[in-house]
Chain A
Amino acid sequence: MNDVHHPQNEAEACDLIRQAASNGTALSLIGGNTRAGLGNRVSAGVVLCSTGLAGIVEYEPGEMVMTARAGTPISEIEASLSANNQMLAFEPVDHRGVMGTQGEPTIGGVFLSNASGPRRLSAGAARDSLLGIRFINGRGEAIRAGGRVMKNVTGLDLVKLLAGSHGTLGFVTEVTFRVLPQPESEATIVLSGLDDATATRAMAAAMAQPADVSGAAHIPQALAQTLPDAFGKTGALTALRLEGLSASVAVRAASLAVRLSAFAPVATVEPAASARLWRSIRDVTPLQALHDQPLWRVSVAPTAGHRLIAALRQQADVDALYDWQGGLVWLQIGGEPQADVLRRTIAAVGGGHATLIRASADQRAGIAAFEPQPAPIAALSTRIKAKLDPAGIFSPGRMAPDAGTNLWLAGRTG
């Protein structure tokens, strides 16, 4: 069993890290651990957990800004925001269902994995909402980066660098982020029975309209059956979400429905069912059942998603669903480990990257969970890591592919 440390304040965490650095003890940095298994295996005997650093520090609804300690449960954040009719704009993915994990996701974990849901299309990713952080570097020094205002170009943006770094660059203790008012109303336009290519064209057409679409997803027939409210009973489902003032949503929904009726029969979904549908898309529930197959998350240009899937289907059985207008593809491939085929095909359809989200220990062996980077970028990343974590103690291996372990090690002496 690993040693697990739960520092209760920043000073305690600084001490722990300083000691670990001087002893050369590797630390696996975690929050609520609901994304355990995301990334490559970490070679560390000691766990440093942020859940002891919990609580909302400052919340100014009138300024649309909240500061919270990194280990604060998302549920607490969302309850507090909801009481003020506000929300996290980027709709963080709850990975528990799809990864088969338990526990409480933390706000720090959300930003460190840049876990962005359907509204990323219109309101930006988690990293776009993150305004400031406090973190401890690999020397045990507490660092402040960014601030609490939206426009800020004072110095290098270490905030973005740390967002999505999966606990490999610093131990984040506090986050300050922008929030948005909850929309007064929402509605979803659904098109039924489209194949992936036509659905992609329909979504692109919707995004070209002045309709302010805040979600655009397509769930092919094979997966649509599992959606709530019997959404999939008439086959594949293409969904476009509109949010805002009630009067405005109604006007935009009517005009978008007319525009899209050229593609397929159109229906409009009421607010409550719309919310359930998008929660299901956000959390990838249609792919929760098949835990024996690896689950991949792929990011490509919106119109390349369906071409990727079509090309992969020439070689294997594939289940996929599309968010972000077709550019975010969640997929499972039957058969042998398939990282190389998948990544070659992504390159062939115009580029992007694939992340292994869930797999058994056997399946995971030999697969780089994150997209291997071209040599100059890998080398640059290694140099950057060495400047934040000179002793190489933070979650070693998690973001570097096995093949790149030597690169990371080389960075320690650089």
Chain B
Amino acid sequence: MSQTIAFLPPRADVLSQRARIIADLADLLPEGGLVHEARELVPFETDAYVAYRQLPLAVALPRTTQEVSAVLEYCNRHGIPVVPRGAGTSLCGGAIPQPDAVVLGLSRMSAILDVDLENRVARVQAGVTNLSISETVGPEGFFYAPDPSSQLACTIGGNIGMNSGGAHCLKYGVTTNNLLGVTMVLMDGTVITLGGSHLDAAGYDLLGLVCGSEGQLGVVTEATVRILAKAEGARPVLFGFATSREAGACVADVIGAGIIPVAIEFMDKQAIEICEAFAKAGYPLHVGALLIIEVEGSDAEMEAMLAAIVAIARRHGVMTVRESQSATEAALIWKGRKSAFGATGRIADYICMDGTVPLGKLSYVLQRTEEICTGFGLRVANVFHAGDGNMHPLILFDANDPAEAAKAEQAGNEILKVCVDVGGCLTGEHGVGIEKRDLMRFQFSDTDLAQQMAVRYAFDADWLLNPSKVFPLDGRPAA
């Protein structure tokens, strides 16, 4: 990769004190709680945005909120940057460290602390995986709604950091809509609790501000999330169209008709071929674009909703309509979709964009995406959450060819600019991280950004938390 994205220059005073910092931190943590040997640091050198790698100064792996507080208080006192990390599945480099930073890994805080079915909440430590919450409450008929594709690995703490979404947020919302409370540690070591098991928190909506703040405001150690009763049944249905244009128009008309399925996923021809080769999900290969539309509820409800959707799809010349005939088949359909990124990674290197656009602009943006990538001589696969306009073009390239890698990055930037120009945004659910940091001025004025940064200062006056991320390095105000 081209290494065009800069990190803050390492603080020389921190690097020069490395041995002492390691000794001090080791004292604050239980045996084995601090990783600092070079070869042990390698697993922490990057996240799922693998184009950039740097070893951190050390990795702290606390087991309690008090240990998190002790580490942060120490780092704050000595001016040491801290990079919080969940499972390291960030697609935007949100967890990539820097040489002068202590990585604060939450992986050892992975307990489900309390499940309260009557109040429909679960209280969990930040390091639990997204899927384990649904697995725990599933036998009782409940689930945790946000379901990012990485849900087997990604942690709830990381989900809160990025306000993660998933395929089913069209109906159930994203993380911020399903989060009722957090325990978090501020950079100076202060432990605060926001919200709880009640449906609205007191005072300013700090919970809303913290969710999606990419580890810039504090380190969440515990979360109270809403769990919901599972629908009686759910049925994913495949709709094949000749072209992306028709599929995109069908999505807009379904929503426009007042029908809100739980999920509408979109795949173009390239994505269908990649996913089918990997997952053998039974996707039709003769179509140019595929929608996976999931309806849920009682049989009567699913029938009624499907009938209405099929009628709309026919108006857009749908070529195939296939309902899953069994739970196994339904699971396969989702497996194909959720393995899209992994399957793509098997055939090429790729970068994944995450812009969101107004629904009426879907077809136009798909067309521009194709034109931009073709213009750079690159292939692109589109697989995304169409119901809420959250696009994920996967730009394929060869990482061993620096010129092609640079082109891929440029193409991605141009696509995101198109998303913003039509009224959308740079990132729907992956976060800004380092990847989109230098594009923030596409979307925000300097005044808008200055206001966000000022609020950030209220939490972390010395700018120590995940400091190279989210905001362009130039133009940061003095404290």
User: Chain A: residues with CB nearer than 8 A to chain B?
Assistant: 60-65, 85-86, 114, 116, 120-121, 124-125, 127-128, 137, 141-145, 147-161, 163-165, 169, 180-182, 201, 204, 207-212, 244-245, 247-248, 251-252, 255, 299-304, 324, 327-328, 350-353, 370-371, 373-374, 376-377, 380-381, 383-384, 386-388, 399
Residues of A within 8 A of B300 (CB): 247-248, 251
In the complex, what's the smallest C-beta–C-beta distance from B318 to chain A, in angstroms? 19
B449 close to A247 (CB less than 8 A): no
A370 close to B203 (CB less than 8 A): yes
Residues of B within 8 A of A301 (CB): 116, 119, 121, 196-198
Residue of A114, A149, A155, A350 with most chain B CB atoms under a 10 A cut-off: A155
In the complex, what's the smallest C-beta–C-beta distance from A212 to chain B, in angstroms? 7
Question: Which of chain B's residues has its CB closest to A208's CB?
Answer: B229
Question: Which of chain A's residues has its CB closest to B121's CB?
Answer: A301
Given contacts A149-B388, A210-B232, contact A86 B304 (CB under 8 A): no
24 A–B contacts, CB within 8 A, in A order: A60-B358, A63-B252, A63-B359, A65-B358, A116-B200, A121-B199, A128-B176, A149-B358, A154-B427, A154-B440, A155-B449, A156-B452, A158-B455, A159-B208, A160-B209, A161-B208, A247-B300, A248-B297, A350-B196, A351-B198, A373-B203, A383-B459, A384-B455, A388-B455
A377 close to B206 (CB less than 8 A): yes
Q: Does B305 contact A (CB under 8 A)?
A: yes
Residues of B within 8 A of A327 (CB): 119, 198-199
Question: Which of chain A's residues has its CB closest to B471's CB?
Answer: A155
Q: Which residues of chain B (182-202) have a CB below 8 Å from chain A?
A: 186, 190-194, 196-202
Residues of B within 8 A of A65 (CB): 358
Tell me the bound Cα distance from A25 to B78 in angstroms.
41
Tell me the bound Cα distance from A145 to B444 in angstroms.
8
In the complex, what's the smallest C-beta–C-beta distance from B142 to chain A, in angstroms? 8
Residues of A within 8 A of B423 (CB): 147-149
A151 close to B174 (CB less than 8 A): yes
Tell me the bound Cα distance from A350 to B455 in angstroms.
31
In the complex, what's the smallest C-beta–C-beta distance from A3 to chain B, in angstroms? 27
Q: Contact partner of B208 among A149, A157, A210, A302, CB < 8 A? A: A157
Given contacts A85-B258, A147-B425, contact A377 B212 (CB under 8 A): no
Of the 9-residue stretches B50-58, B161-169, B344-352, B404-412, which lies at the interface with chain A? B161-169
Tell me the bound Cα distance from A351 to B117 in angstroms.
18
Of the 9-residue stretches B17-25, B127-135, B370-378, B429-437, which lies at the interface with chain A? B429-437
User: Chain B: residues with CB nearer than 8 A to chain A?
Assistant: 116-121, 140-142, 162-163, 165, 169, 173-174, 176-177, 186, 190-194, 196-209, 211-213, 216, 229-232, 252-253, 255-256, 258-260, 297-298, 300-301, 304-305, 356-360, 385, 388-390, 423-432, 436, 440, 443-445, 447-449, 451-452, 454-459, 470-471
Given contacts A124-B173, A163-B205, contact A324 B199 (CB under 8 A): yes
Tell me the bound Cα distance from A413 to B162 in angstroms.
33
Residues of A within 8 A of B471 (CB): 155
B301 close to A207 (CB less than 8 A): no
Apart from A60-B360, A247-B301, what 17 extra A-B contacts exist at CB < 8 Å?
A: A62-B256, A141-B451, A151-B356, A151-B390, A152-B356, A155-B449, A155-B452, A156-B455, A210-B231, A252-B298, A324-B199, A380-B192, A381-B203, A386-B458, A387-B454, A387-B457, A388-B454
Tell me the bound Cα distance from A304 to B200 in angstroms.
14
A152 close to B177 (CB less than 8 A): no
Q: Contact partner of B304 among A153, A245, A377, A388, CB < 8 A? A: A245
A127 close to B206 (CB less than 8 A): no
A381 close to B177 (CB less than 8 A): no
Q: Contact partner of A62 among B116, B173, B301, B360, CB < 8 A? A: B360
Given contacts A156-B456, A370-B203, A377-B203, contact A248 B229 (CB under 8 A): no
B298 close to A251 (CB less than 8 A): yes
B304 close to A248 (CB less than 8 A): yes
Given contacts A301-B197, A351-B196, A352-B196, contact A380 B177 (CB under 8 A): no
Tell me the bound Cα distance from A211 to B208 in angstroms.
28
In the complex, what's the smallest C-beta–C-beta distance from A110 to chain B, in angstroms? 14
Q: Contact partner of A153 among B202, B208, B431, CB < 8 A? A: B431
Tell me the bound Cα distance from A397 to B252 in angstroms.
46
In the complex, what's the smallest C-beta–C-beta distance from B465 to chain A, in angstroms? 13
In the complex, what's the smallest C-beta–C-beta distance from A161 to chain B, in angstroms? 5
B455 close to A161 (CB less than 8 A): yes
Residue of A149, A180, A209, A351 with most chain B CB atoms under a 10 A cut-off: A149
B432 close to A154 (CB less than 8 A): yes
Given contacts A141-B451, A151-B428, A153-B428, contact A164 B204 (CB under 8 A): yes
Tell me the bound Cα distance from A236 to B354 in angstroms.
51
Residues of A within 8 A of B192 (CB): 374, 376-377, 380
A62 close to B255 (CB less than 8 A): yes
B360 close to A377 (CB less than 8 A): no
In the complex, what's the smallest C-beta–C-beta distance from B219 to chain A, in angstroms? 15
B199 close to A251 (CB less than 8 A): no
Question: Which of chain A's residues has its CB closest to B416's CB?
Answer: A154
Tell me the bound Cα distance from A380 to B186 in angstroms.
10
Q: Contact partner of B451 among A143, A350, A373, A386, CB < 8 A? A: A143
In the complex, what's the smallest C-beta–C-beta distance from B241 to chain A, in angstroms? 19
Q: Contact partner of B200 among A114, A255, A387, CB < 8 A? A: A114
Residues of A within 8 A of B253 (CB): 62
A127 close to B205 (CB less than 8 A): yes
Residues of A within 8 A of B208 (CB): 127, 157, 159-161, 163
Residues of A within 8 A of B202 (CB): 299, 353, 370-371, 373
Residues of A within 8 A of B230 (CB): 210
Question: Which of chain A's residues has its CB closest to B213's CB?
Answer: A156
Tell me the bound Cα distance from A167 to B313 in angstroms.
46
B206 close to A380 (CB less than 8 A): yes
Residues of B within 8 A of A152 (CB): 356, 425, 427-428
B200 close to A125 (CB less than 8 A): yes
Given contacts A151-B388, A152-B428, A157-B213, contact A137 B451 (CB under 8 A): yes
In the complex, what's the smallest C-beta–C-beta distance from B310 to chain A, in angstroms? 15
Question: Which of chain B's residues has its CB closest to A300's CB?
Answer: B198
Q: Contact partner of B204 among A143, A161, A352, A353, CB < 8 A? A: A161
Given contacts A125-B200, A158-B209, contact A151 B385 (CB under 8 A): yes
In the complex, what's the smallest C-beta–C-beta distance from A116 to chain B, in angstroms? 7
In the complex, what's the smallest C-beta–C-beta distance from A331 to chain B, in angstroms? 15
In the complex, what's the smallest C-beta–C-beta distance from A91 to chain B, in angstroms? 14
A377 close to B205 (CB less than 8 A): no
Tell me the bound Cα distance from A385 to B204 in angstroms.
10
Residues of A within 8 A of B444 (CB): 144, 154-155
In the complex, what's the smallest C-beta–C-beta distance from B115 to chain A, in angstroms? 13
Question: Which of chain B's residues has its CB closest to A382's CB?
Answer: B458
In the complex, what's the smallest C-beta–C-beta distance from A187 to chain B, in angstroms? 14
Given contacts A137-B451, A303-B119, contact A247 B173 (CB under 8 A): no
Residues of B within 8 A of A153 (CB): 162-163, 212, 427-432
A156 close to B209 (CB less than 8 A): yes
Given contacts A161-B205, A204-B118, contact A149 B389 (CB under 8 A): yes
Residues of B within 8 A of A160 (CB): 176, 205, 207-209, 211
Residue of B163, B174, B205, B454 with most chain A CB atoms under a 10 A cut-off: B205
Residues of B within 8 A of A251 (CB): 298, 300-301
In the complex, what's the smallest C-beta–C-beta distance from A95 to chain B, in angstroms? 16
Question: Which of chain A's residues has its CB closest to B256's CB?
Answer: A62
Residues of A within 8 A of B119 (CB): 204, 301-303, 327
Residues of B within 8 A of A158 (CB): 209, 451-452, 455
Q: Contact partner of A144 among B174, B436, B445, CB < 8 A? A: B445
Question: Which of chain B's residues has its CB closest to A85's CB?
Answer: B258
Q: Contact partner of B173 among A128, A147, A302, A324, CB < 8 A? A: A128
Question: Which of chain B's residues has its CB closest to A328's CB?
Answer: B199
